[in-house]
Structure 1
Amino acid sequence: MAVIAVASGKSSGVTCSALALALASPRPSLLVEADPAGGTIRAGFLQGEGSAQIGLHRLAAADRQGTLDKEFRQHWVSLDRTHSGQRMLLPGLTDPAQAPSMARTWDSIAVLIGATDSLGYDVIIDAGRIVPQSETRLSTTVYPAPLLRAADVVLLVVRSTQASVVSAAPAARVLREELAHHGTGADALGLLIVEEGSLSSSNIQEWLRVPAYASLEWDPDTADVLTHGQFKKTARGLLRSARSAHDRINEIVTRRRIQLARPAPVQG
């Protein structure tokens, strides 16, 4: 399986992209809403379903009490209406002020995510907008840096517009340095390009000095469904392109795990 973290330097559709990848996975998937700014999927895509007593914000207390292993899966909720267990969500923080309380818990959650991956799930981590500590380090007090360090790949979401690429440049630098010195290597970092504008993939890669790992079709109608839960007839081009992106990302995960002598994800 695969552990895929998704982040941005500025608002570029990270949550929508992460949700699309989770829904498009050919295998069971778990979407972890780790954005320190707070989760939006429960209020948006799920239209307020579920209890506020369930979610990431409860796991810091479980960690302090020594019950995190036991409670981790109790905080998963279904992303689909069939409740089949194939598409699951760990809802995010309900208030950005809760982010500092997670600092000592991220490492433990990273271990549990690794165990979830070994059970046959693709794990997609919505890490939101990065919070740097310096020009070369991620914050470890308010940002889930341990999750990105342990991920098979980290996708920097960027739209194919000049404004988006320019705003992504500092994030690309920080992530490249962070993963090179504290993660599984700088080659874990790749671009997830949302094809909104006219810039070519080759130009974006050259500008940011990061390879493009996958792309997503610009599809505002489906994006509205994923962001706001506005269920209506749509071409679902975004989800089709997310399935293609998933195939490409898993090829990269397979190659990196072989290089790092880690178990390769199951294909199919």
Structure 2
Amino acid sequence: MTVIALVSAKSSGVTTSALAMTLSSARPSLLAECDPAGGTLRAGFFQAQITAGTGLYHLAVAERAGEDALAQAFADHLVRIDVSGNRQVLPGLTDPAQAPALERSWPALAQVMRVLSDEGGYDVIIDAGRLALESGRLHSSLTPAPLLHGADLVLLVVRATDQSLALARHMTEPLRNELTDRGTGPGALGVLLIEDGPRRAHEVADALRLPVMAALPWEPDTAAYLAGTGSAPRKLNKSALLGAARTALGHLQAAASRRALHKQYPPTPTPPVPAASSAQAAPQVAGVLQRLGQGRVDPHV
């Protein structure tokens, strides 16, 4: 399936957008809250019903104990957000001071998410939070760079305002360079536009020199519910935001598939680059797939 990472230059609705996509996905989906600045789902959407005993930080501890421990911990620290278990969340950090402990664990977590997508059939949505730069590159501990490197698509979330565009403009070149040098290529980078402001998609694309790959409407009531600051709208199942999120996810999945096909059948021959495929990596995280499959309900039955 697809691994999509959402980032921003400043708070622009990354977590709300990621949650909307996860909830609206027609396929099994996983939201990984990997913002080094700390997660908000625990106190927001989950209304503090999840304790600090569950979440991302514990995976750093498990990773040091080995691959088997990481696989089991990953599955154990997921939280279901629907009865079927087809939609799950990995809650984020409770304290930004925990972020440095994850620096050496990001590559292993990126591999787990890749295998969940390729072998487990999940749409993986990564909330990578606000970008932090150091000497013109992604900060090694304040940004989960390996997760961006391994993603099919990396979307810079911006609002349709001049202020949001001004902040985002400074992040586009470092992101493009990072994905060119270490990721899946500059074509993975695009914009997720939150239509909260006067700027249109073509204006945003021109300003940032990036394609607007998807857009979500500004719907305050549903957004407040997803952020945990408001009650569920009376007609949540008819929400314009969730409907648009499902459409956007479909477009993104198609874009990722086109990129994968293009890489598989390039226009000119290129020398092979040795790399571990997801199938080769699968045994390392087989425990994750096995545990996630237990009790999950097939949405098509």
Deviation at 1:24, TM superposition (A): 1.1
State yes or no: 1:213 paired with 2:213.
yes
Q: Which amino acid aligns with 2:257?
A: T
- Residue of structure 2 in register with 1:32 after alignment: 32
CA contact (8 A) 2:36 2:141 kept: no
Deviation at 1:202, TM superposition (A): 0.8
Coordinate RMSD, CA, aligned = 1.5
Deviation at 1:10, TM superposition (A): 0.9
State yes or no: 1:260 paired with 2:250.
no
* Bigger mean CA deviation after superposition, 228-237 or 197-206: 228-237
Deviation at 1:70, TM superposition (A): 2.4
- Residue of structure 2 in register with 1:128 after alignment: 129
- Residue of structure 2 in register with 1:204 after alignment: 204
- Residue of structure 1 in register with 2:54 after alignment: 54
Q: Describe the SS at the equivalent of 1:143.
A: coil
Q: Describe the SS at the equivalent of 1:19.
A: helix
Match of 1:247 among 235, 250, 255: 250
Distance 1:74 1:260 in 2: 35
* Bigger mean CA deviation after superposition, 98-107 or 38-47: 38-47
CA contact (8 A) 1:102 1:142 kept: no
CA contact (8 A) 1:14 1:128 kept: yes
Over alpha carbons, which structure has the higher Rg? 2
Distance 1:171 1:21 in 2: 23
Q: Which amino acid aligns with 1:27?
A: R
Q: Which amino acid aligns with 2:142?
A: V
Paired residues for 1:1-268 under 5 Å: 1-66=1-66, 67-80=69-82, 82=83, 84-117=84-117, 118-135=119-136, 137-228=137-228, 230-234=231-235, 236-261=239-264
* Bigger mean CA deviation after superposition, 37-46 or 89-98: 37-46
Q: Describe the SS at the equivalent of 2:133.
A: coil
Q: 1:155-200: per-residue Cα shift (whole Å, max 9, x none)?
A: 1001111111111111212211111111010110010000111111
TM superposition outliers: structure 1 runs of 4+ over 6 Å: none
Distance 1:65 1:181 in 2: 30
Q: 1:48-102: per-residue Cα shift (whole Å, max 9, x none)?
A: 223321110101111111121222111101123x2x2111000100100000000
Q: Describe the SS at the equivalent of 1:65.
A: coil
Q: 1:233-252: per-residue Cα shift (whole Å, max 9, x none)?
A: 25511101101101110110
Deviation at 1:143, TM superposition (A): 1.7
Distance 1:163 1:100 in 2: 30
Structure 2: tracts of 5 or more residues without a match: 265-276, 279-299
* Bigger mean CA deviation after superposition, 117-126 or 41-50: 41-50
Aligned residues: 261
Q: Describe the SS at the equivalent of 1:190.
A: strand
Between the aligned residues of both structures, percent identity stands at 48
